[in-house]
Amino acid sequence: MMLRNCHNYHDLRKLAKSRLPGPIFNYIDGGADDEVTMRRNSEAFQTCDLIPNVLTGVKDIDLSVEVMGQKLDLPVYLSPTALQRLFHHQGERATAAAAEKFGTMFGVSSLGTVSMEEIAQQYDTPQVYQFYFHKDRGLNNAMMQRAKESNVNVMMLTVDSITGGNRERDLRTGFSIPFRLNLSGLWQFATRPMWGINYLTHEKFSLPQLDAHIDMGSGASSIGDYFTNMLDPSMNWKDVEEMVKFWDGEFCLKGVMSVEDAKRAVDIGCTGIVISNHGGRQLDGSRSSFDHLAEIVDAVGDQIDVVFDSGVQRGTHVLKALAIGAKAVGLGRYYLFALAAAGQAGVERAMTLLVAEIERDMRLMGCSKISDLNREHVRFR
């Protein structure tokens, strides 16, 4: 299959699967435990139907939104994800370049493979820095300071990953960083020699956000060790309130699911929350983000920017989340499969397809700007 023959998420996923060694494909594709939440995330959109208006005059479509102080040309952004240079040697550079081209926001992960400083200098588009909370408070402040000096626009603290999710696909293949592959995992790498050639002939793998603080390159520590030894499971609201004050700018919690937590985020001065279950990669059995969105919007939507991710594969999914009241919608696997399939060209193809879908769907819904979408446009079955 060629990139030009990819017309949707499913095609891009198929192409990524044909290019990636099995353990890496499964790291992206998989979820926690029985993957119930992961499946429900996308299925949930099918329980909600769109109700279009006709004859509204929809010649020009404006997809722009403003979220957490950022003016975006699109209501979708590229959510922060780890290890992108493992998926394609261009990694975060491809993601950032595509985000810039489409006038939207993208995230650099704490487990990113290109430094947030380089990305902030090279690409002129709003940048989120995804943060994990460390036991060492000095380290937290030093990392936030680094982000401030790089002019990162939004600080995004991930709060649903106090410990790593149980990704059984990774246990089966032996996927970890550094690689500790079992025989079957090694064989699957051998069947994708082009990936191996690209990996070996490009810049050495590194995790620049963490390299100054933890030695992962020599193989002494793994990402699992990082979660276990360096992150602070005792992180609480007081700690985060201090972080919000220290950051003194747009600050958002990623992975809020309860109304109570959403209200507390407002109380401690956050400017955004992402309703997310990490794409079903953390707590399996947790409610899908879409099933839960309305409850959170009703509780705090007038006090904080409610952003949404998990399970989005289609323009209509985006429209449904916006109609319920999300201010913007985050993409994860949607752009990661495209990245793995063809680097920057892949992410651009994915964004072109999605923008075309959203524009077409907006016309068919009789809406010419994002703020036209509202609850009257959706019904749950």
Ligand X SMILES: Cc1cc2nc3c(=O)[nH]c(=O)nc-3n(C[C@H](O)[C@H](O)[C@H](O)COP(=O)(O)O)c2cc1C
Tokens, residue 87? 């998926």
What's the min distance (Å) between Cβ of 311 and ligand X?
5
Beta bridge partners of 141: none
332 in contact with ligand X (CB under 6 A): yes
Q: Is 243 helix (H, G, I), strand (E, B) or coil?
A: helix
CA distance 106 to 93: 11
130 binds ligand X (CB under 6 A): yes
Choice from 336, 340, 351, 373 touching ligand X (CB under 6 A): 336
Residues in contact with ligand X, counted by CB under 6 A, come to a total of: 26
From 46-54, 206-214, 261-269, 330-338, span contacting ligand X (CB under 6 A): 330-338
CA distances from 350 to 4, 27, 99 (A): 11, 20, 11
Task: For residue 115, state whether it binds ligand X (rule: CB under 6 A).
Answer: no
Minimum CB–partner distance for residue 41 and ligand X (Å):
6
Span 163-192, contacts to ligand X by CB under 6 A: none
- Residue 89 or 278 with smaller CB distance to ligand X: 278
Measured CA to CA, the distance from residue 193 to residue 198 in angstroms comes to 9
Q: How far is it, in rounded angstroms, from Cα 13 to Cα 8?
A: 9
Tell the smallest beta-carbon distance from residue 59 to ligand X (Å).
Answer: 32
Q: Quick one: which segment of 232-240, 260-268, 333-341, 367-375 binds ligand X (CB under 6 A)?
A: 333-341
List the catalytic residue out of 89, 278, 292, 317.
278
Q: Which is nearer to ligand X, 289 or 372 (CB)?
A: 289
Active site residue 278: yes
DSSP-H helix ranges across the chain? 9-19, 22-29, 36-43, 84-87, 91-101, 116-122, 137-149, 168-173, 183-190, 193-201, 223-225, 237-247, 259-267, 289-300, 315-324, 333-365
Per CB under 6 A, contacts with ligand X among 29-68 are 41
**With CB under 6 A as the contact rule, which of the stretches 45-53, 64-72, 263-271, 275-283 interacts with ligand X?**
275-283
> Which backbone phi and psi does 21 adopt, to 5 degrees?
-60, 145
Our finding on whether 311 is near ligand X (CB under 6 A) is: yes
The number of beta carbons lying within 10 Å of the beta carbon of residue 245 is 11
Q: What is the CB neighbour count within 10 angstroms for residue 334?
A: 26
Among 26, 37, 109, 140, binds ligand X (CB under 6 A): 109
* The only residue of 327, 333, 349, 377 in contact with ligand X, by rule CB under 6 A: 333
> What residues numbered 69-108 form the site for ligand X, per CB under 6 A?
79-82
The C-alpha R_g of the chain, in whole angstroms, comes to: 20
Which residues lie near ligand X (CB under 6 A)?
A: 27-28, 41, 79-82, 109, 111, 130, 158, 254, 276, 278-279, 281, 309-312, 330-334, 336
Hey, which residues are catalytic here? Answer: 278
